[in-house]
Amino acid sequence: MRILTEVDPAQLAGLRDADEFFWLDLLHPSAAEVDTLGTELGLHPVAMKDSEEFGQRPKVDAYAEHAFLVFYTPARSAAVEDPGVEVHVYVSGMFVLTVRRGDCTRLDSLRSELAGLDVVEGEEYLVHRILIALTDAYFPLVNALETRVDGLEDAVFHRTRSEQLEQIYRLRQDLSRHERRVEAQADYFPAAAEAILALPGLSHGTKAYLDDVADHLVRVSTELRRQRDDLFSLTTTCFSANANKLNQSATRLSVLATFFVVGTLVTGFFGQNFRWLVDSVASRTDFLVFGVGGLLLPLLVLCVYFFRRRDDWM
């Protein structure tokens, strides 16, 4: 079993004549290389057209001699903002072909790992390793996303800020992009498994391997859906925290205003020119008792009242 990274017509023809299974991983192939692949490997023209025009939706197309999968995976695994890389996977009874226009650390690592092995277990094993590598690249992203969400939750509960809401919305956009792709891949994969199992010349011990890939896709989809629900809940929590913060500010202002109202009422009363006030409040002692005492006593009562109710209002 051979692992290739370049289009060599003579080498491809030799491998096919020898009936030796191989994996060809192409990065940024030219139009001429794509045409050569179509000729040497007998790929369907419609599938080749898709590989010339990237930006396809996740899908599977079954042809007589091969299956064509459009698979999306994170390029750097743990980066939530990672736009992802589109990988075109051709599976036949004689080869596996992956075509991409962006870096993919999981495929590069897998290629290096398999190149160091003396013997690769079999065709179905190689197909499984490629598909499971593309799928499992989402798990570090899910973990990174969960860490981000937990950090935002702590920040919101500790102190709500306006920029947190923007961070939540941006995170939801990144999550939605990954979730749409993974859900589409999980939906089409049963059909892809049937198409792969029906391929002539491919070892037919692949069902357990393909079931494993389908299970991982469902797990990733479930985790992303859970994170989406957590972000929606966090958005609600953020709005509630902002509303609660506004209510607390309004309550404190109301308490402060109440003190000013009472003080204004008392000073206003003593500021009126009643004859008794003018004739009776004539000394410093009268001023301290009636003026200062009359002001401090109701304020003290208010302080005791608000202090006892502080847990309900603050």
Banded pLDDT at 138 (limits 50, 70, 90): very high
Q: What is the pLDDT of residue 90?
A: 95
Cα 52 versus chain centre, distance: 29
User: 125 pairs with which residues across the strands?
Assistant: none
Lowest-confidence pick of 126-140, 169-183, 246-260? 246-260
* pLDDT tens, position by position, 203-256: 655 688 889 999 999 999 999 999 888 888 888 877 777 777 777 777 777 778
In the predicted structure, residue 69 carries a pLDDT above the cut 80: yes
pLDDT of residue 73: 93
How far apart CA 82 and CA 65 sit, in angstroms, is 34
Residue 112: both structure tokens together? 């290096």
Between these two residues, 113 and 216, which has the higher pLDDT value? 216
Predicted local distance difference test score (pLDDT) of residue 116: 65
DSSP at 19: T
Tokens of 260: 């000013």
> What span, in angstroms and rounded, lies between the C-alpha atoms of 210 and 64?
20
Phi, psi torsion values for 99, nearest 5 degrees? -125, 130
CA pair distance 239, 17, nearest whole angstrom:
66
| Total residues found in the chain within this entry | 314
Give the pLDDT confidence score for residue 117 in this predicted structure.
62
Of 69-83, 114-128, 221-235, minimum mean pLDDT range: 114-128
Burial class of residue 101 in the structure, from the number of CB atoms within 10 Å of its CB (0-12 exposed, 13-18 middle, 19+ buried): middle
Please indicate whether residue 45 or residue 246 has the higher confidence score (pLDDT): 45
Find the mean pLDDT for residues 122-143. 89
